[in-house]
Structure 1
């Protein structure tokens, strides 16, 4: 019998982190970014956080294009943003992360079968954000080592599901952009994917 694979280090958090990164021009900057967290274990407890950049290149955009974090655990959300999101490839160095507005999340609703489509709807006061992934591919499981992980400090075993199409809708208005092709762990997916069973282990 093969020996079990055991990761050395400290488990920092575990949960789900599906994301949507959209461009107008495949060679241009990302113009809509959404990263959703459902954390089941962390030093700061459980919770949800949706980090949404409607204006990634602006630290202080007008209210109708505000960059927001909707969360039911603000200390957890701030930690996830500073220690993780700020290191994600599409998010690194963006002015939009500097002026985030934190709003109390009222509800989260999941829908879809995660086979053909999947959705998360997050409500905070008068703001409703719907994330939708469709044209889902076959799930695949892999583990990045610290050298390959976004932070450079963690092992990251995870299950990913790529998708062909993804949208972000705020109060019924669809935000601009579309996902573009990318490769992860030898798999051709896109810049919008489902990330389930994700665990970050500090090496």
Structure 2
């Protein structure tokens, strides 16, 4: 029988859905949001949801507008640091967002809930009761699942083989403290062709290439 075991260290496995929004379809991203539900890692299981508004700091100096949202909620802070430093910072759209990620407010002790029918709507929510903070991501009009095996050089970190099952969404939105962030998803090239910039990423597993190192919490 052929060897069916993949070499390399499994850094984490779980879910990693995303929503990327633009207020101007021809402009830069106005908000980048990620959700992680990790079932196994060196830091144990846990969840993390984060959003960074104006990720590339494009606001005019002195603009009379509220500060952009840079918020993350988690129930496992060491795991959250590991995911942010070892993965989020290396994802393509987040690489130019160093200042926004440095300003990210990470709040522990959050409680997480999942809602939806798995077809027309899916929502992942987090609430930090003691701080009165909440963050929710909602995907609508989910498409047929498809599986991917992304080799290390093409993966988000460039150092892991990544396996996942994706369900692209027809639309999506992000809610922070009951206020919906401005912006909409936009069509872009995705793994299986044009799709809106939001998808569920399920059963996602990141296997480290031999010799690669990932930032530790």
* TM norm. shorter chain > 0.5: yes
Superposition pairs of residues 177-196 of structure 1, within 5 angstroms = 177-196=183-202
Whether 2:76 is the aligned partner of 1:73: answer yes
Q: Distance in 2 between matches of 1:107 and 1:138?
A: 29
> Residue 63 and residue 70 in structure 1: after superposition, are their counterparts in 2 closer, same or farther (change >3 A)?
farther
Q: Is the 8 A contact 2:173 2:181 kept in 1?
A: yes
SS in 1 for 2:44: coil
Give me the TM-score of the superposition, normalised by structure 2: 0.85
How many pairs align? Answer: 200
Note closer, same or farther for the CA distance 1:5–1:115 as it changes in structure 2 (3 Å cut): farther
1:44 maps to 43
1:152 aligns with 2:151: no
Q: Secondary structure at the match of 2:79?
A: helix
**Normalised TM-score (structure 1):** 0.91
RMSD: 2.0
Unaligned runs of 5+ in 2: 58-64, 210-217
Q: Residues 65 and 105 (structure 1 numbering): CA distance in 2 closer, same or farther, change over 3 Å?
A: farther
Picking from 62, 85, 96, the partner of 1:82 is: 85
Which structure 2 residues correspond to residues 1-203 of structure 1 after superposition, within 5 A?
3=2, 5-58=4-57, 65-94=68-97, 95-124=99-128, 125-203=131-209
For 1:153 and 1:121, how far apart are their aligned partners in 2? Answer: 30
